């Protein structure tokens, strides 16, 4: 009897294996049926234009597996590009909840979800997600960039500065430049509250982060001027010329006022001559003409401007030339005509933008440290060419 039972063992094992396989097949079949139902329900909703319900069913049908993760990201990006942020959000939120994603995919899902919240203007939620990614090799620097964009929009300069360690670690020049401007914003507030030591510290920090920040030196000069340290202020203005020659024409008038109150007034015009020789700036030319007229004669100044305009004509230079001709021993009729020409040219220049953004081409008649269009810092420069400098 016992031998008979031993003989039956392989049969029982074989039966068990057969039944087990059948049960797995059955389960697979059931899962497939369920997927087909969800998929076709999803399609039905899609065809009847009920897109949100369609997406719900299709997300369920398209289970997140290794080979469908990319498809989910692509679908969400497509929604975002079409401006359907709520749908992009749903897909990314769904991806974030999936336990089987790799670390890299999880970070990608969190980052993309952060971008959705950022695009939707939900900055507090975007901020939380980007902060989670600061240590990520792949998304750390990108998240930092978004965080600084958020703090720039909300004017949370201190929150941005709290990320200084991460910015320094990233070694990203652009991020350092942005953070230097956060320090300048705080310095601006300190200047309004007349906190001398704090102003200098903040601006020094800005220059350490970005030694090319002309804005930091511009504010530093203002701080020195306010405390009547005119020699130091002049040094800061000079520094701006070596940092940013394009922006320098805007500094010339302030610089002159400072030189007049410093111990080095005689150094102003030679410096401006150097600026004009190097850049051909019309503002520098007009300023230098004062010196020629003062030390030589009006005729010499007229010869100088004519020669300069022949080499590099600008409308502002021409307007100044006309102004120099007024009352130059002319009769009333000539003076009246010259005055009309001068006024016409002035009216023409008034409607022309004085500044242009180097980054996005935005034009403006007034200066902004942060471009109102692309929000990049220190990119608005005086226009060059016939209608500009």
Query: What are the two backbone dihedrals, phi and then psi, of residue 357, each rounded to the nearest 5 degrees?
Result: -80, 125
**220 vs 206: CA distance, rounded Å:** 10
Tell me whether residue 319 or residue 381 sits nearer to Zn ion (CB atom): 381
**314 vs 281: CA distance, rounded Å:** 10
106: tokens are 């999880």
In this structure, the dihedral spanned by the alpha carbons of residues 330, 331, 333 and 338, taken in order and rounded to 10 degrees, is: 10
Instruction: Count, in order, helices (H) and strands (E) of the chain.
Output: 19, 3
Tell me whether residue 360 or residue 386 sits nearer to Zn ion (CB atom): 360
Q: How is 196-212 classified by DSSP, letter by letter? A: HHHHHHHHHHHHHH-TT
Tell me whether residue 145 or residue 334 sits nearer to Zn ion (CB atom): 145
Tell me whether residue 246 or residue 293 sits nearer to Zn ion (CB atom): 246
Q: How is 213-256 classified by DSSP, letter by letter? A: -HHHHHHHHHHHHHTT-HHHHHHHHHHHHHH-TTTGGGGHHHHH
List interacting residues with Zn ion (CB under 5 A).
357, 359-360, 362, 371, 373-374
Give residue 88's Cα distance to chain centre.
24
Which one-letter DSSP state was computed for residue 96? H
Tell me whether residue 78 or residue 360 sits nearer to Zn ion (CB atom): 360
Long-range contacts of 268-277 (CB under 8 A, 24+ apart): 271/238, 271/241, 275/241, 275/245, 275/248
Shortest gap between Cβ of 377 and Zn ion (angstroms)? 10
Contact 127, 152 (CB under 8 A): no
DSSP 3-state percent helix, strand, coil across the chain (nearest 5) = 75, 5, 25
Is 360 marked as a binding-site residue?
A: yes
Is 371 marked as a binding-site residue?
A: yes
Shortest gap between Cβ of 385 and Zn ion (angstroms)? 19
Shortest gap between Cβ of 380 and Zn ion (angstroms)? 7
Is 258 marked as a binding-site residue?
A: no
Shortest gap between Cβ of 308 and Zn ion (angstroms)? 31
Tell me whether residue 321 or residue 362 sits nearer to Zn ion (CB atom): 362
Q: Name the binding residues for Fe cation.
A: 357, 360, 371, 374
Q: Name the binding residues.
A: 357, 360, 371, 374
């Amino acid at each position: 009897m016992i031998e008979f039972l031993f003989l039956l063992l392989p049969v029982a094992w074989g039966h068990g294996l057969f039944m087990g396989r059948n049960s797995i097949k059955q389960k697979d079949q059931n899962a497939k049926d369920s997927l087909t139902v969800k998929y076709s329900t999803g399609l039905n909703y899609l065809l009847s234009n009920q897109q949100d319900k369609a997406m719900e069913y299709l997300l369920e049908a398209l289970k997140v597996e290794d080979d469908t993760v990319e498809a989910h990201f692509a679908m969400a990006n497509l929604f975002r590009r079409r401006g359907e942020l709520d749908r992009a959000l749903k897909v990314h939120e769904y991806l974030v909840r999936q336990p089987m994603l790799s670390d890299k995919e999880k970070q990608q899902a969190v980052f993309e979800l952060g971008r959705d919240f950022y695009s939707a203007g939900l900055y507090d939620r975007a901020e939380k997600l980007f902060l989670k990614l600061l240590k990520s090799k792949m998304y750390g620097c990108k998240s930092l960039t978004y965080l600084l964009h958020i703090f720039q929009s909300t004017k949370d300069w201190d929150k941005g500065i709290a990320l200084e360690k991460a910015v320094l670690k990233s070694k990203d020049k652009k991020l350092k430049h942005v953070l230097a401007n956060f320090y300048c914003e705080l310095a601006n507030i300190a200047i309004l509250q007349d906190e001398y030591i704090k102003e200098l510290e903040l601006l020094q920090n800005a220059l350490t982060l970005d030694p090319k920040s002309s804005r930091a030196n511009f504010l530093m000069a203002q701080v020195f001027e306010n405390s009547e340290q005119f020699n130091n202020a002049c040094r800061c203005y000079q520094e701006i010329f070596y940092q940013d020659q394009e922006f320098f024409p805007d500094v010339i008038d302030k610089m002159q006022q400072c030189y007049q109150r410093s111990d080095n007034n005689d150094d102003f015009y030679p410096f401006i001559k150097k600026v004009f020789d190097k850049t051909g700036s019309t503002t520098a030319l007009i300023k230098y003409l004062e010196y020629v007229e003062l030390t030589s004669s009006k005729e010499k100044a007229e010869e100088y401007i004519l020669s300069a305009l022949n080499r590099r004509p600008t409308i502002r230079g021409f307007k100044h030339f006309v102004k120099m001709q007024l009352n130059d021993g002319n009769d009333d009729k000539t003076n009246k005509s010259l005055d009309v020409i001068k006024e016409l040219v002035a009216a023409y220049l008034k409607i022309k933008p004085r500044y242009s953004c180097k980054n996005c081409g935005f034009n403006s008649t007034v200066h902004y440290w942060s471009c109102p269009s692309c929000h990049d810092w220190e990119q608005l420069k005086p226009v060059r060419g016939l209608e500009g400098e």
